[in-house]
Amino acid sequence: MTMYVPKLEKDIRNPLEAGLASFEGKWKTRVICALTQTPNLRYSALKSAMGNITDAVLTTTLKELTADQIINRIQYNEIPLRVEYNLTKKGRAAIPMLSAICQWTQTFNPEWGQVKCGCGTANCLFDLKNH
Amino acid sequence: MTMYVPKLEKDIRNPLEAGLASFEGKWKTRVICALTQTPNLRYSALKSAMGNITDAVLTTTLKELTADQIINRIQYNEIPLRVEYNLTKKGRAAIPMLSAICQWTQTFNPEWGQVKCGCGTANCLFDLKNH
DNA sequence: CTGTATCCGGGAGGATACTG
DNA sequence: CAGTATCCTCCCGGATACAG
């Protein structure tokens, strides 16, 4: 019933800060990565892709990404209920940006350069350590 | 005497998360912005550019940016002590990335598109609301 | 002038139990 | 299956005071 409402408004001053806020927190980029590798994922598939996330945290993450127009929530009123998530146009437009950050890190911190993703997916964005 | 040491290690899994961590927090991008507009700034100049930051928070921010190799700390052993900060090569390489995020926000959230920076500096990265 | 030391409130992330 | 509701812990950002 009582949704969480922060007492202090965040102090976001420009479009850069607004953009970065879309990716902050522990799970958002991981959800984006999963949806990049597999375009349509159900709640349960997303949850197991995240590994050890709890429902409360996954739900919050998905709501924030939806509010930021980075993912779509598509509900099929079947029984049992089916819900799928995928990237919006804005979400897909973020992929090159995130890749650029990834490469920037690997360029200047070569210790990251050796870590290769083992997922075998051709369009995988990220080089994951635990994957 | 007792520096702050986090008890739980941060869970950074890939170069994207490592890169984004360099920009997180309220002040890091603002410091980068200030040093983009003015290449060499003293502690006190940086502090007044930030507006209402406290010393404890500014010091922490500068240390983290230095540790991440995004800014250089140059100390002149004069009396009184003079310290200047500027962007490293890695820091300068981040500017196009940050501009891309800025533009991404302005493209998909046009309410940010009308806000223009009033600083008059040619190489100003960001469109600032309070500036 | 350029910081450190110390304390504190608020909140993000998480654990657990429960539900249509 | 796809979430809510509730509670809790840790620690970040900030305030204030002090120092080399």
pLDDT higher than threshold 70 for residue A130: no
Closest approach of A81 to chain B, Cα-based (Å): 31
DSSP assignment, residue B41? E
CA of B6, C1' of C5: distance in angstroms: 17
Q: Which nucleotide is nearest to A4 (CA to C1')?
A: C11
CA–CA gap between residue A68 and residue A29 (Å, rounded): 13
Q: Does nucleic acid strand D have an atom less than 7 angstroms from the CB of A79?
A: no
- Whether the per-residue pLDDT at A24 is higher than 80: the answer is yes
* Percent of chain A predicted with pLDDT > 70: 81
pLDDT confidence tier of residue A8, bands split at 50, 70 and 90: confident
Q: What is the mean pLDDT of residues A79-86?
A: 94
Q: Which residues of B35-59 are buried (b: 16+ CB within 10 A; e: fewer)?
A: bbbeeebebeebbebbeebeeeebe
The residue ranking higher by pLDDT, A117 or A31, is A31
The answer to whether some atom of strand C lies closer than 7 Å to the beta carbon of B25 is no
Place A4 in a pLDDT band, splitting at 50, 70 and 90: low
Tokens 């899994």 identify what position?
B13
Judge whether residue B59 contacts strand C, using its CB and a 7 Å cut-off.
Answer: yes
pTM for the full model? 0.89
Q: What is the largest CA-CA distance in chain A?
A: 51
Instruction: Enter the DSSP assignment of A111.
Output: G
The pLDDT confidence band at residue B19, using thresholds 50, 70 and 90, is very high
Per DSSP, the three-state class of A17 is helix
CA–CA min distance B84, chain A (Å): 23
Q: Do A14 and B100 touch (CB under 8 A)?
A: no
A92 touches strand D (CB under 7 A): no
Please give the interface size between A and B, counted as residue pairs whose CB atoms are below 8 Å apart.
116
Distance, in Å, from the CA atom of B115 to the CA atom of B128, rounded to the nearest integer, reads: 7
- Chain B residues whose CB is inside 8 A of the A125 CB are 16
Give the mean pLDDT of A35-49.
Answer: 95
Q: A79 pLDDT band (50/70/90 cuts)?
A: confident
Nucleic strand D within 7 A of Cβ A2: yes
Candidates A24, A93, A94; nearest CB to B24: A24
Domain boundaries, chain B: 15-112
Which of A4-8, A73-77, B12-16 is predicted most confidently?
Answer: A73-77
pLDDT for B10 equals 82
Q: Where are the alpha helices (DSSP H) in B14-86?
A: 15-21, 28-37, 43-50, 55-67
Q: Answer for the pair A93, B107: CB distance below 8 angstroms, yes or no.
A: yes
A17, A94, A106 ranked by CB distance to B15: nearest:
A106
Q: Which CATH architecture is the domain B15-112 placed in?
A: Orthogonal Bundle (1.10)
pLDDT in tens, B65-119: 999 999 999 999 998 899 999 999 999 999 999 999 999 999 999 999 755 554 4
